[in-house]
Structure 1
Amino acid sequence: MWVVKLGGSVIDDALFPQWLALLSQLGGGRVTLVCGGGGFADQVRRAQARWQFEDLPAHNMAVLAMAQTAYLAQALEPRLRLAASKAQIRAVLHAGQTALWLPLEWVRDKPGPQTTWETSSDSLALDLARKLNAERLVVVKSCAVDPAATLAELGQRGVLDGMFATVAKDAAFPIDVVHRAELERMRALLLDEGRAVGV
């Protein structure tokens, strides 16, 4: 099972529906899609800058922004199936469909090290991949991605969030960071994996 995270900026791109279609067509039974907050999360940042409230409510609002994006994705690609818990995700995958994560379990009552802007939807996708015992995590970005860069270097450049590389150190699965234009690369990865599963 794979977790594929579409960055928030991908959501405003013309390729967004193509990513959704690809993951619906080839990800059935083995892909869980995580969407970033996109413009909804940007509005949270603007509201916090305007009203100067603490990071905990901003974190919760950003999680809800991810949920809004998930609803948008499902509206554009109805073959995706919304799932809020590990059990629901597994049920969707068992039915041969692509799961679309609603990260409502990440709403928090108390502040902590993960309720700051240092932890973005990138790290939430990583956390989900761990909980699901995923075989691979693919993070799709709109900004330029140096294929030779380490996760730490991508974090320093702002491609990934500041906590991602630290949290990913003991990940038991490969992590790929790809550009939004690499649809064919993603297709090839999914098809290769499909052939391997069928052997």
Structure 2
Amino acid sequence: MNGPWIVKLGGSLWNGDTLRPWLSHLAAERARRIVIVPGGGPFADTVRHAQPVLGYGARAAHRMAILGMEQYGLALLDLEPGLVPARTVADMEAAPGAAVWLPALLAAEADVEESWDVTSDTLAAWLAERLGADRLVLVKSVPLPTETADALALSRIGVIDPVLPNRMGRLSAEVRCVGCDDLPLFATDLRGGTPAGTLLLSAERLADTEPEAAWSGTFSS
């Protein structure tokens, strides 16, 4: 066991039936170090919807959306007491089990643009880079292609944020999207089985990939 796995739980899972099973399984995991990155969920949506009414700028909206992630993270910790809160890298390294990143403090250091193009996807990638993670897993509630996919194509149809594809070039971690209904496959993956979900390829990796191996189509999400 080397670097941790960063598991971003999409905000869209907040009102579905799959969130609690994911939390329960991750809390019980001991074979790998896990750091959970919470999406913004309804908390970040509130920031987005209020911005044109109140008129606050991009910097304020960015910081408020991060606080939305923190709120979602606090909710996850309450729903699953087996998870551990983590605000700093030291907290994550010392956590006896799966940790939930509460990002308000550490995300202030992230070298990302302050706009709605940056979501918890890119912040999860930033954290994966910071921690030297082995795997970045983005748990999504939309249909996903099988095997491999062009990250840029996925960003164009809203599966991942538009900043993540370029950010991936800085990562040593493998990046995968996993469907929220695919927890059994992910659990097998954690135990060294077949990798779960869709492998995302950056522009650099696509250049070294056979054309037929890289999905670049579209589908309805």
When normalised by structure 1's length, the TM-score is 0.89
User: 1:154 and 1:27, CA in 2 relative to 1: closer, same or farther beyond 3 A?
Assistant: farther
Q: Which amino acid aligns with 1:21?
A: S
Higher relative contact order (CA 8 A, sep 6+): 1
Cross-structure match for 1:170 = 170
1: CA distance between counterparts of 2:107 and 2:68? 12
Relative to its length, the structure with more helix (as a share) is 1
SS state at 2:37 partner: strand
2: CA distance between counterparts of 1:4 and 1:28? 15
- Aligned pair partner of 2:41 in 14, 38, 42: 38
Q: Which amino acid aligns with 2:56?
A: F
| Residues 37 and 62, structure 1, Cα contact 8 Å, conserved in 2 | yes
| Residues 155 and 165, structure 2, Cα contact 8 Å, conserved in 1 | yes
Runs of 4+ in 1 over 6 A off after TM superposition: none
| Residues 27 and 190, structure 1, Cα contact 8 Å, conserved in 2 | no
Which ranges in structure 2 are unaligned for 5 or more consecutive residues? 194-221
Q: Does 1:48 align with 2:47?
A: no
Cross-structure match for 1:60 = 63
Q: Does 1:159 align with 2:159?
A: yes
Q: Which amino acid aligns with 1:176?
A: R
Q: Which amino acid aligns with 1:136?
A: R
When normalised by structure 2's length, the TM-score is 0.81
SS state at 1:177 partner: strand
Q: Which amino acid aligns with 2:88?
A: S
- Aligned pair partner of 1:81 in 80, 84, 98: 84
Q: Which amino acid aligns with 2:7?
A: V
| Residues 128 and 171, structure 2, Cα contact 8 Å, conserved in 1 | no
| Residues 129 and 170, structure 2, Cα contact 8 Å, conserved in 1 | no
Cα deviation for residue 101 of structure 1 reads 0.3
Cross-structure match for 1:149 = 149
2: CA distance between counterparts of 1:74 and 1:29? 19
1: CA distance between counterparts of 2:112 and 2:190? 34
